[in-house]
């Protein structure tokens, strides 16, 4: 079988498009799960690259998914990265050899100007016309060949949510002439007159190609009437968020019980099977009791991410930003801050990275500084543990008391964030006025494939954490907790005499005023690496505090009988602020390029946590005695 | 949607006039153009001009509100409609431009002059 000679080097492709054009769906379809997510050198803009092999001649491709951009004149860091990459101005990033510009067929008026801007750069360009089923269903008309003629670049139809179209796309891509020269390094931002000329050219081309814009669907317009209603809109938003947090608690109950039972069974089986001794204790008390108690929260984290991904994919989030703009404006934040802050409910790290869509530096910094106050999923294990141990599981009206307490904790985080933002914008980050200009994309059904890939990514990250950082810390903690061995003739549990016991007791001096015993004080130390590790640490500490047979007993009843309610509430209050998350601080450092902001952040969070826990403990102690 | 836009486009492509002029549309525009920021929910019209608004939209000096408005398609002759306002104060507002919906504050909307339809 004769094969055409194939270049050994994979061809570098870049995927460009305005936000919401269906670019990510095409990227996912072309590359499947062969994706690498990293950062561009020096900035926290996420760099997504995937590889695949072409259908015809075995040509390999490396596809770079550039951040969505409306224009080559950037207003956000995302757009700046896209421009710099295309113009070859990005250090450590070779400019792409071919550019694929994805355009949404239902909204060519908005999409085509970028195509003309890219075409004029003189790079080999191909237009992927994203034909959603929506477009066909709604009386959309377009002469593709004519469009191709008018644009002077190949136009290929793709249906981003179904297979098909890629083959044609790649064949046309391979037929493109190679880049003639380096893209215009002297590219200048167009003048206003030039922009208007380009816009007129877009309209002329669309007219020539017989383009009829599909009508917006009546049902969706009615939905917007409701969702963006000045009164009903915020009510719907509040109800939606409340539902998500209730679901995180109630839907996860069954799978969590299953994971818990599995971990307990494994621990008991291993305990019985291995000869008694140090190895037995390390595996059962250290690894399984420690890492297992964090693993239990996987279902809740996946459910939370599921909802965030659905909201993101459906087009609802920008509407929420619109609804909240005034409220967020009252504390000095932009409505745009809503999206990063919502992501921070899952994890502050992606949340802080998402602040790159906020155009102004001071707005962005203020958002970064309050992002860790949003209740991230790593706090969920701590909340869930304490709530399960101390808050009765009984119905309150249509709701559940445990769910209500959890909701209150989330609200406390939000209120704290607003107050901090207000204080920051009044003082250090005082800034002049910043505009809001936001596209509200049409609603669409979330794409199942994107949803699954997104959840899969989260699952991988979580398991990697459990398998690496958390596991390692658990083992270290086990050593600290097991050595030195108690002196002969001692009566108390062995851990009291260990290094961990000593550390815990010296820290207790600091934390006793807020009601923490030495076990909690000790658990806060490995909790520095990641908040949820505190739960694993408590698992290890309490597991080692018990003698022999109680090992299999779970943590919940154990803390329920050894802590007072005031201590439990104080720990909850501590965790509303809880500065201890190294990954967040590292991301803030990288994001702001200095240690100043992470240090300020850690300092103010620690102070607030201590104050809040102190007040809570004193009030609760007074009320419960 | 309205056939108006296409005929306008065709007109413009053959003319050397500045784009700021009011398009000579074949139906009644009775009032002089008003600022988009003064329009309430339900108001319809066509863009007649985008004024210079030096407010930067990001941290780079080139990215001004006016530039981004033009890039997003707020160019003379485009039909728009105010479809929603928030409460209280009606700020920000949501505007449908052609087939796309945008959220913007009244202050940004001040840069867009609109020939209001009807009355």
Shortest distance, CA B54 to any CA of chain A (angstroms) = 11
Q: Where is pLDDT greater, at A607 or B11?
A: A607
Q: Is A76 on the interface with B (CB under 8 A)?
A: yes
Mean of pLDDT values over B89-94: 88
Rounded Cα gap, residues A577 and A566, in angstroms: 17
Q: What is the pLDDT of residues B36-86, one digit of tens each?
A: 999 999 999 999 999 887 777 766 656 788 889 999 999 999 999 999 998
Contact A617, A572 (CB under 8 A): no
Closest CA to A151 of A179, A112, A180: A112
Q: How far is CA B4 from the centre of its chain?
A: 15
- Checking if the pLDDT of B6 tops 60, the result is no
Q: What is the pLDDT of residues A571-614, one digit of tens each?
A: 999 988 876 677 778 778 877 777 888 899 999 999 999 999 99
Q: Domains in chain B, start-ordered, CATH in brackets?
A: 19-116 (2.30.30.90)
Contact B92 A436 (CB under 8 A): yes
Of A194-208, A209-223, B13-27, highest mean pLDDT: A194-208
Q: Which residues are CB-contacts of A170 (< 8 A; sequence separation ≥ 6)?
A: A54, A55, A56, A59, A61
Residue of A nearest to B12 (CA): A200
Mean of pLDDT values over A223-247: 88
Which residues, in sequence order, are bridge partners of residue A36?
A49
Q: What is the pLDDT of residues A80-126, one digit of tens each?
A: 889 989 988 887 888 888 999 999 888 898 999 999 999 988 888 99
Average pLDDT value for chain A:
81
Mutate one of A109, A114, A339 to test the B interface: name it (highest B CB count within 10 A).
Answer: A109
Q: What is the pLDDT of residues A121-168, one digit of tens each?
A: 888 899 998 876 666 666 678 888 999 999 999 998 887 555 666 777
Q: Domains in chain A, start-ordered, CATH in brackets?
A: 11-208 (3.40.50.300)
Rg (CA), chain B: 14
Shortest distance, CA B74 to any CA of chain A (angstroms) = 9
User: What percentage of chain A carries pLDDT values higher than 90?
Assistant: 17
Shortest distance, CA A45 to any CA of chain B (angstroms) = 16
Ranges of beta strands (E only) in A304-426 are 395-396, 399-400
Q: A489: pLDDT confidence band, cut at 50, 70 and 90?
A: low
Which residues, in sequence order, are bridge partners of residue A15?
A65, A100
Separation in Å, CA B42 to CA A324, B3, B5: 22, 21, 20
- Checking if the pLDDT of B18 tops 50, the result is no
Confidence at residue A184, expressed as pLDDT on a 0 to 100 scale: 61
Confidence at residue A201, expressed as pLDDT on a 0 to 100 scale: 94
Contact B58 A74 (CB under 8 A): yes
Residue of A nearest to B93 (CA): A322
Contact B47, B75 (CB under 8 A): yes
pTM for this prediction: 0.77
Contact A224 B83 (CB under 8 A): yes
Contact A126, A154 (CB under 8 A): yes
Q: A69: pLDDT confidence band, cut at 50, 70 and 90?
A: very high
Contact A195 B70 (CB under 8 A): yes
Residues of B in contact with A433 (CB under 8 A): 55, 107
Q: A401: pLDDT confidence band, cut at 50, 70 and 90?
A: confident
- Checking if the pLDDT of B113 tops 70, the result is yes
**Both tokens assigned to A449:** 């494939």
Confidence at residue A18, expressed as pLDDT on a 0 to 100 scale: 93
- Checking if the pLDDT of A197 tops 90, the result is yes
Contact A516, A497 (CB under 8 A): no
Sign of the four-CA dihedral A501, A502, A508, A510: negative
**Both tokens assigned to A332:** 């000095």
**Both tokens assigned to A25:** 């769906």
Q: Is A438 on the interface with B (CB under 8 A)?
A: yes
Closest CA to A585 of A338, A263, A352: A352
Interface of A with B in 343-402 (CB under 8 A): 359-361
Contact A30, A63 (CB under 8 A): yes
Rounded Cα gap, residues A170 and A176, in angstroms: 10
- Could you write out the DSSP letters of every residue in B22-90? PP--SS---S--EEGGG--TT-EEEEEEE-----BSSSSTT-BHHHHHHHTT--TT-EEEEEEE-TTTT
Peptide bond before residue B88 is cis, with ω within 30 degrees of 0? yes
Q: Is A80 on the interface with B (CB under 8 A)?
A: yes
**Both tokens assigned to A431:** 């800034």
Separation in Å, CA A408 to CA A24, A245, A331, A404: 36, 10, 21, 6
Confidence at residue B81, expressed as pLDDT on a 0 to 100 scale: 94
Q: Where is pLDDT greater, at A317 or B9?
A: A317
Phi, psi of A103 (to 5 degrees): -125, 145
- Checking if the pLDDT of A76 tops 90, the result is no
User: What percentage of chain B carries pLDDT values higher than 70?
Assistant: 67
Rounded Cα gap, residues A248 and B69, in angstroms: 40
- Checking if the pLDDT of A65 tops 80, the result is yes
Mean of pLDDT values over A409-429: 86
Element of type H or E holding A360: none
Q: Is A437 on the interface with B (CB under 8 A)?
A: yes
Of A40-44, A361-365, B100-104, highest mean pLDDT: B100-104
First to last CA, chain A: 87
Shortest distance, CA A259 to any CA of chain B (angstroms) = 45
Confidence at residue B2, expressed as pLDDT on a 0 to 100 scale: 41
Q: Where is pLDDT greater, at A355 or A552?
A: A355
Write down the residue that tokens 């459906």 correspond to.
A314
If you count residue pairs, one on A and one on B, with CB atoms under 8 Å apart, how many are there?
149
Nearest to A440 among B12, B19, B102 (CB): B102
Shortest distance, CA A601 to any CA of chain B (angstroms) = 23
User: What percentage of chain B carries pLDDT values higher than 90?
Assistant: 38
Confidence at residue A282, expressed as pLDDT on a 0 to 100 scale: 80
Closest CA to A80 of A44, A50, A116: A44
Q: Where is pLDDT greater, at A457 or A198?
A: A198
Residues of B in contact with A215 (CB under 8 A): 1
**Both tokens assigned to A547:** 């003698």
Query: Where does residue A274 rank: exposed (0-12), middle (13-18), buried (19+ CB within 10 A)?
Result: middle
Q: What is the total residue count of chain B?
A: 119
Q: Which residues are CB-contacts of A585 (< 8 A; sequence separation ≥ 6)?
A: A598, A601, A602
Query: Lowest mean pLDDT: which of A66-80, A267-281, A520-534, B31-45?
Result: A520-534
Sign of the four-CA dihedral A277, A282, A288, A293: positive
Q: Which residues are CB-contacts of A298 (< 8 A; sequence separation ≥ 6)?
A: A259, A459, A462, A463
Q: B13: pLDDT confidence band, cut at 50, 70 and 90?
A: very low
């Amino acid at each position: 079988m004769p094969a055409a000679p194939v270049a050994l080097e994979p061809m570098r492709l870049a995927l460009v498009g305005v936000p919401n054009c269906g670019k990510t769906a095409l990227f996912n379809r072309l590359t499947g799960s062969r994706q690498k997510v990293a950062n561009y050198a020096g900035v926290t803009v996420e760099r997504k690259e995937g590889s695949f092999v072409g259908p015809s001649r075995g040509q390999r491709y490396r596809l770079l998914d550039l951040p969505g951009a409306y224009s080559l004149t950037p207003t956000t860091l995302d757009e700046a990265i896209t421009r710099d990459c295309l113009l070859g101005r990005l250090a450590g990033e070779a400019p792409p050899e071919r550019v694929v510009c994805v355009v949404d067929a239902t909204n060519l008026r908005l999409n085509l100007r970028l195509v003309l801007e890219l075409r004029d750069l003189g790079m080999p360009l191909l237009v992927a016309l994203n034909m959603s089923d929506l477009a066909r269903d709604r009386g959309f008309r377009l002469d593709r060949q004519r469009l191709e003629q008018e644009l002077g670049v190949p136009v290929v139809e793709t249906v981003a949510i179904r297979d098909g179209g890629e083959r044609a796309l790649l064949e046309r891509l391979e037929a493109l002439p190679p880049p003639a020269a380096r893209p215009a390094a002297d590219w200048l931002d167009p003048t206003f007159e030039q922009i208007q000329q380009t816009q007129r050219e877009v309209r002329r081309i669309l007219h020539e190609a017989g383009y009829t814009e599909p009508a917006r669907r009546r049902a969706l317009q009615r939905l917007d009437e409701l969702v963006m209603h000045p009164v009903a809109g915020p009510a719907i938003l509040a109800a939606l968020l409340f539902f998500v947090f209730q679901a995180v608690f109630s839907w996860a109950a069954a799978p969590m019980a299953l994971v818990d039972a599995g971990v307990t069974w494994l621990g008991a089986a291993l305990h019985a099977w291995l000869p008694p001794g140090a190895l037995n204790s390390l595996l059962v008390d250290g690894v399984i009791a420690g890492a297992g108690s964090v693993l239990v929260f996987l279902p809740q984290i996946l459910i939370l991410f599921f909802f965030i991904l659905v909201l993101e994919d459906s087009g609802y989030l920008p509407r929420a930003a619109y609804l909240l703009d005034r409220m967020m404006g009252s504390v000095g934040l932009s409505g745009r801050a809503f999206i990063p802050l919502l992501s921070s409910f899952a994890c502050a790290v992606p949340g802080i990275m998402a602040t790159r869509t906020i155009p102004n530096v001071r707005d962005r910094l203020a958002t970064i500084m309050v992002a860790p106050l949003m209740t991230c999923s790593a706090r969920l294990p701590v909340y869930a543990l304490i709530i399960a141990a101390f808050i009765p599981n009984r119905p309150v009206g249509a709701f559940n008391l445990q769910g209500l307490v959890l909701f209150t904790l989330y609200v406390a985080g939000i209120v704290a964030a607003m107050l901090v933002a207000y204080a920051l914008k009044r003082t250090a980050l005082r800034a002049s006025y910043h505009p809001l200009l936001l596209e509200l994309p049409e609603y669409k059904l979330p794409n199942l494939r994107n949803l699954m890939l997104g959840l899969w990514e989260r699952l991988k990250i979580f398991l990697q954490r459990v398998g690496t950082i958390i596991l390692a810390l658990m083992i270290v903690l086990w050593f600290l907790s097991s050595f030195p061995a108690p002196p002969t003739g001692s009566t108390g549990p062995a851990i009291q005499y260990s290094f961990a016991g000593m550390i815990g007791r010296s820290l207790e001096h600091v934390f006793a005023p807020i009601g923490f015993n030495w076990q909690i004080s000790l658990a806060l130390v490995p909790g520095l690496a990641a908040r949820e590790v505190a739960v694993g640490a408590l698992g290890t500490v309490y597991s080692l505090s018990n003698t022999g047979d109680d090992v299999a007993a779970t943590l919940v009843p154990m803390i329920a009988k050894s802590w007072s309610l005031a201590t439990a509430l104080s720990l909850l209050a501590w965790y509303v602020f809880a500065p201890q998350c190294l990954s967040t601080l590292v991301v803030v450092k990288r994001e702001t390029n200095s240690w100043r902001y992470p240090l300020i952040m850690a300092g103010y969070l620690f102070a607030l946590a201590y104050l809040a826990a102190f007040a809570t403990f004193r009030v609760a102690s007074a009320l419960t005695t | 949607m309205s056939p108006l836009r296409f005929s306008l486009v065709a007109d413009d492509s053959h003319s050397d006039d500045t784009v700021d002029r009011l398009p000579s549309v074949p139906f009644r525009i009775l009032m002089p153009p008003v600022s988009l920021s003064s329009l309430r929910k339900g108001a319809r019209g066509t863009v007649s001009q985008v004024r210079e608004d030096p407010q930067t939209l990001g941290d780079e000096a080139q990215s001004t509100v006016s530039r981004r408005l033009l890039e997003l398609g707020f160019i003379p002759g485009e039909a728009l409609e105010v479809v929603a306002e928030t409460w209280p104060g009606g700020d920000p507002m949501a505007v449908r431009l052609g087939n796309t919906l945008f959220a913007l504050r009244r202050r940004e909307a001040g840069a867009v002059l609109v020939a209001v339809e009807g009355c």
